[in-house]
Amino acid sequence: MTRALYHDLPPRLDFTATVTAVDGSRALLDATAFYPEGGGQSGDTGLLRWSGGEATVTATRKDKAMGHIWHDLTGAVPEVGTPVSGEVDPGPRWRHTQRHSGEHLLAQAFARVNPAFAVEAVSMTSPECTLDLRGEPTEADVRAAESLLRETLGRTDLLLRTPVVAEHDLHEYPLRRTTKVRGEVRLVIFEDAFGAPFDVSACGGTHVPRASLASPVVVLRTERIKGGLTRVVFMAGEEAAEYLSGVYRDARALAQTFSVPVARLAERVDALCEDLRVTSDTLSATRKVLARTLLDTVPCREVGSRSLQLHALDDPALLTELLMLVDTGTVVAAVTPTGRCGIATGHPDEDAGALLRSVLTRTGGKGGGKPTLAQGQTEQPDVFLEMVAQVLAER
């Protein structure tokens, strides 16, 4: 069994140990300060050094059955019995610690908003962390949990305490969720100066010594996932602060282009969206009028027993509008300079889809549709319309 040093207080980021086993590119030590991946938290990375050699620790994993902690190495691998010194990367460790503490605190905030919001699963392996909750929290519940936690961290100095207690004594602690751990259980407790707990959880992860060091804790979005669960995506600590700073910087730059303060940016965007909707509706109505005008003014060509009307359109958006207004007894073909093309028919004996496919076999491209209207893409827009007339004449 590997002796775990990552729970020592103050936290240990360097240590000495001895290699007890080697398996390919991974090494087992008799002691380590590298936290192994588990409980939703990523494993530590860093360096191992020994006389005449050095290796990068890229991942740390625990064999739960044996209690061994294996270190995945890049570079040389020390031999069994080699004394080594280890150095944990402080940056990733601190970010992982902030994420994990933020997860505990946010989960407790949700539980206080509604006890039905129980945690089913967690993940903290990237800056965007997740809580999978039962109880279907609404957007209002999310805002309430965020507000509760923000006020708690801003007004109360919550300190970390990590007692190890016997399984039979767990009933004396207000655990937020039951634990499957047996025997000696490590608890993570954030409590105020008078010993009143905010959150109590069984946990083997690393945590900040004061809850305020995990702030801000910010919910980014929620997602419904399988099993009737709601996934809450959040960020915590320095990563959250950096993210919020970037969002504000972008919002400020965007607000400046609209000549409004950041506080009025949403109002300005809403107004622009409404303007865009009105413009889009007007443009759509104008296209319908133009399409009707074209159908009424462009002369038809008689091809056999069919009346054929051909249109070369500059505006691709006009294509569908035109085809949808085809008159009874008429076959209409249209093409744009980019190759968008289509055929519509008001003649009961003419299949627009079959006619388009026949034309595209000669001009190249793909397309299809219903017997009354078909669209596609031709490789030869300059000859498409004449080819429609030719194929129609051959029928």
321-343: pLDDT as tens digits: 999 999 888 999 999 999 999 99
Contacts for 349 with CB less than 8 Å, ≥ 6 apart: none
End-to-end Cα spacing for the chain: 85
Q: Does pLDDT of 180 surpass 90?
A: no
The arithmetic mean of pLDDT across residues 291-306, rounded, is 92
The pLDDT of residue 9 is 82
The pLDDT of residue 175 is 95
Q: Does pLDDT of 357 surpass 80?
A: yes
Q: How confident is the model at residue 14 (pLDDT cuts 50, 70, 90)?
A: very high
pLDDT (tens digit per residue) in 314-323: 999 999 999 9
DSSP string, 170-239: GGGS--SS-----SEEEEEEEE-TTS-EEEEEE--S---SBGGGG--EEEEEEEEEGGGEEEEEEEEHHH
Q: What is the 3-state secondary structure (H, E, C) of 327-350?
A: CCCEEEEEECCCCEEEEEECCCCC
Please name each of the domains of the chain with its CATH number. 3-88 (2.40.30.130), 94-252 (3.30.980.10), 289-394 (3.10.310.40)
3-12, 124-133, 228-237, 289-298: which has the minimum mean pLDDT?
Answer: 3-12
pTM: 0.78
Report the helix count and the strand count for the chain, using DSSP H and E: 7, 22
The arithmetic mean of pLDDT across residues 159-169, rounded, is 95
Q: Does pLDDT of 174 surpass 80?
A: yes
The pLDDT of residue 65 is 75
The arithmetic mean of pLDDT across residues 81-109, rounded, is 98
Q: Does pLDDT of 123 surpass 90?
A: yes
What mean pLDDT, rounded, does the chain reach? 95
DSSP 326: P
Angle of helix 265-297 versus helix 237-257 axis, rounded to 10: 50
The arithmetic mean of pLDDT across residues 196-208, rounded, is 96
User: Is omega for the bond preceding 348 within 30 degrees of 0, making it cis?
Assistant: no
Q: Does pLDDT of 219 surpass 80?
A: yes
Q: How confident is the model at residue 304 (pLDDT cuts 50, 70, 90)?
A: confident
Q: What is the share, in percent, of the chain residues with pLDDT greater than 70?
A: 100
For residue 60, give the H/E element and its range. Answer: strand 53-63
pLDDT (tens digit per residue) in 17-68: 999 999 999 999 999 999 999 989 999 999 999 999 999 999 999 988 788 9
